[in-house]
Chain A
Amino acid sequence: MATVSMDQVNKVYPNGFHAVHDLSLEVGDGEFMVLVGPSGCGKTTALRMVAGLEDISSGIMRIGGREVNDLSPKERDIAMVFQNYALYPHMTVAENIGFALKLRKLPKDKLDAKVKETAEILGLTEWLDRKPGQLSGGQRQRVAMGRAIVREPSVFLMDEPLSNLDAKLRVQMRAEVSRIQRRIGVATIYVTHDQIEAMTMGDRVAVMRAGILQQCDNPQVLYDRPDNIFVAAFIGSPAMNLYEATVGDGGRSVKLGSQHVDLPDAVTIRHSGLTSYAGRTVVIGLRPEHLPAAHAGFAGPVLAGDVDLVEALGSELVVHFTIDAKRVVAEGAHAPDAEAATISGEGVARVDPRTPAKAGERLNFAIDTDGIQFFDQDSGAAIWT
């Protein structure tokens, strides 16, 4: 049991590439911390620095209060699950799980007992004599977990452990990994590029981009109060709608393309910082669920959009629409193909399944002003008070 603390940790490769910038992060005892970000954001490098597989260029890394900068992976008392599992193909499941204990020269009877106990936790008992090549993806994944937990490490590190599984199994293993982590109660750092995994599994989620920590908080805070455009766009699916808007009336209204939207007092109080943006362009953020269809006689602010496509999911309709405001794209927050699709004024709304939405028609969306967000156009920072 231990905590992990990173204090101004940097990683600069010999070729000059600065992979991680001044990363400061605390992972509490038993906490499930997820590092998330697009590929190449430095999350895996950060994890490998915790593991000791990558040198630290500057800063201090502590595990359980002890500085570990110069300690080998073995001395750090950590366990790691790799993306490709890295099981030893020539050893049976039991030998794979027991290898680290064998190296510690644990007596045979104790070793067997521990391997058996671990296999039971993971439901691997009947596969103990098999070789990894004879197992399914999910079983291999569990063996990799078993190999890590059998050692009772003080820190658990996982590098995209679910990304090699198919979608259905991934959802199942997501729950299982969380369950096992709570059961063994060890501080865990989990790296993923999948924001859904991050949101569903993490006690706290650290969002990284280009080697810089953007925001670290519990998933709901990240969703409700993102610190900047990148976090806003990266967290949530479908992604937040981001448009350029001009602030008018000293911060009491915005203009989205040709549409004028009055902001209620609650919004102007919450985002009092907007007053200093009067007459300037900001980025407005609206999550799809904050754009329900406006029923007849709705008095609040509405946004009218031309419906392009309606996807019926049963519980809701996902409506793709277009408005004449300029869509803002947070660089790196979306998959490249998604970015290309959102260059125009497209947006997404999640509306009641009984809404009579049809492609080609115009639909009024009621803006749920509680969920409205504003960002500085240049810095991307959220605008609050």
Chain B
Amino acid sequence: MRNRKRTGWHRVFNGVNIATFFVVLFIGLPLYWLIASSFKTAANIGVDPPQYFPNPLSVANYKSAFVQYDFGIYFRNSLIVTLISTALVLGLGTLAGYALGRLPMRGKFTLLVAFLMISVFPEIALIAPLYLLLHHLGWLNSYQALIVPYTAFNLPFAIWILRNYMLGIPREMEETGRIDGASPLRTVWSIILPQALPGIFTAGIFCFTACWTEFLMALTFNISNNFRTIPVGVSQFGTIDVTPYATIFAASVVATVPIGILVFIFRKFVISGLTSGAVKG
């Protein structure tokens, strides 16, 4: 084969780089538009020709989201619901993933298939029965109205990720632990969990994002303004006559920040978590 030396423009304009450029453009441009628009004045939002850079630069939209609308409450609600759900999913999912991945158990395969089926079950089909159930429990307009279903819906997928990750940890780890004199719980805590961290972070970020952006259940179960989460709250901004796009943009930017921070902190773990299960498991 001819050994072409990659110099000059070949090195810059090769296939991979060009593809990457378009992907970044595809994802990055709307994100830029969102951020840029959130700093524009309301009048400048829909002008023609479009304003590529906000001028004048204004933070009024951010102020209006928090002051004029109750974005602070929605943010708090989202945080409470999402964090508790994610914690529950990770706590239960890690133990279940460990059991399904590493302990001798009857009916393991059936359980896993059942989990997979649950995790692809359409949410909308369960909305009505869930509403009735929550109504009877007196849980409508409460945090648990979202926390419990979120945990239930996200758990199966988390168990799958964690189980696959646990499978990749060599069996000798537990055996060494036993010989070293560690109790089963200590073995899980000190030996298995630290090695499963990438899997736990991956499952955690998936779950966090799913809960953070969930709309349908949040809209249906919590009508009271005090229990609205961000997606529902922001959708209710404005009146019948006015849609305050600039304020919605500003709220959306703030809503994106936690996920951005999470991914940024754990990006190394997430990448290895996404691939390791596939290769080793």
Residues in A lying within 8 Å of B, measured CB to CB: 51-53, 72-74, 78-80, 82, 84, 86, 88-90, 99-100, 103-104, 147, 151
Q: Is the CB of A86 within 8 A of B175?
A: yes
Selected from B175, B178, B191, B197, the residue in CB contact (under 8 A) with A88 is B191
Selected from B176, B181, B194, the residue in CB contact (under 8 A) with A82 is B176
A99 to B194, CA, bound (A): 14
Chain A nearest CB from B50 CB (Å) reads: 51
* Residues 227-239 of chain B, each 1 if its beta carbon lies under 8 Å from chain A, else 0: 0000000000000
Residues of B within 8 A of A78 (CB): 179
A36 to B191, CA, bound (A): 31
A147 to B181, CA, bound (A): 13
Q: Is the CB of A86 within 8 A of B170?
A: yes
Q: What is the interface residue range for chain B against chain A?
A: 10 to 19
Q: Is the CB of B179 within 8 A of A80?
A: yes
A84 to B186, CA, bound (A): 22
Residues of A within 8 A of B179 (CB): 51-53, 73-74, 78-80, 100
Chain B nearest CB from A101 CB (Å) reads: 9
Main secondary structure of the interface of B (DSSP, over half): helix
Residues of B within 8 A of A53 (CB): 175, 178-179
Given contacts A88-B191, A89-B195, A90-B194, contact A82 B175 (CB under 8 A): yes
Residues of B within 8 A of A100 (CB): 179-181
A53 to B175, CA, bound (A): 7
Q: Is the CB of B170 within 8 A of A103?
A: no
The 8 sampled A-B contact pairs (Cβ below 8 Å) are: A73-B179, A80-B179, A86-B170, A88-B173, A90-B194, A90-B197, A100-B181, A103-B180
Q: Answer yes or no: B182 CB below 8 A from chain A CBs.
A: yes
Find the residue from A51, A79, A100, A104 having the highest chain B CB count within 10 A: A100
Chain B nearest CB from A13 CB (Å) reads: 13
Closest 4 CB pairs of A and B: A86-B172, A100-B180, A90-B194, A74-B181
Q: Is the CB of B170 within 8 A of A84?
A: yes
A53 to B179, CA, bound (A): 9
In the complex, what residue of chain A is closest to B197 when comparing beta carbons? A90
In the complex, what residue of chain B is closest to A51 when comparing beta carbons? B179
Find the residue from A80, A88, A147 having the highest chain B CB count within 10 A: A88
In the complex, what residue of chain B is closest to A72 when comparing beta carbons? B178
Chain B nearest CB from A148 CB (Å) reads: 9
A99 to B195, CA, bound (A): 16
Q: Is the CB of B178 within 8 A of A73?
A: yes
Find the residue from B176, B181, B186 having the highest chain A CB count within 10 A: B176
A220 to B178, CA, bound (A): 37
Q: Is the CB of B181 within 8 A of A103?
A: yes
Find the residue from A52, A74, A79, A151 having the highest chain B CB count within 10 A: A74
* Residues 157-195 of chain B, each 1 if its beta carbon lies under 8 Å from chain A, else 0: 000000000000010110110111110001000110011
A80 to B179, CA, bound (A): 7
Chain B nearest CB from A258 CB (Å) reads: 55
A21 to B41, CA, bound (A): 85
Given contacts A89-B195, A90-B194, A103-B186, contact A84 B172 (CB under 8 A): yes
Residues of A within 8 A of B197 (CB): 90
Q: Is the CB of A86 within 8 A of B173?
A: yes
Residues of B within 8 A of A52 (CB): 178-179
Q: List 10 additional A-B contacts (Cβ < 8 Å) besides A51-B179, A53-B175, A73-B178.
A: A52-B178, A72-B178, A79-B179, A82-B172, A82-B176, A86-B175, A99-B180, A100-B179, A103-B180, A147-B176
Residues of A within 8 A of B170 (CB): 84, 86
Chain B nearest CB from A372 CB (Å) reads: 45
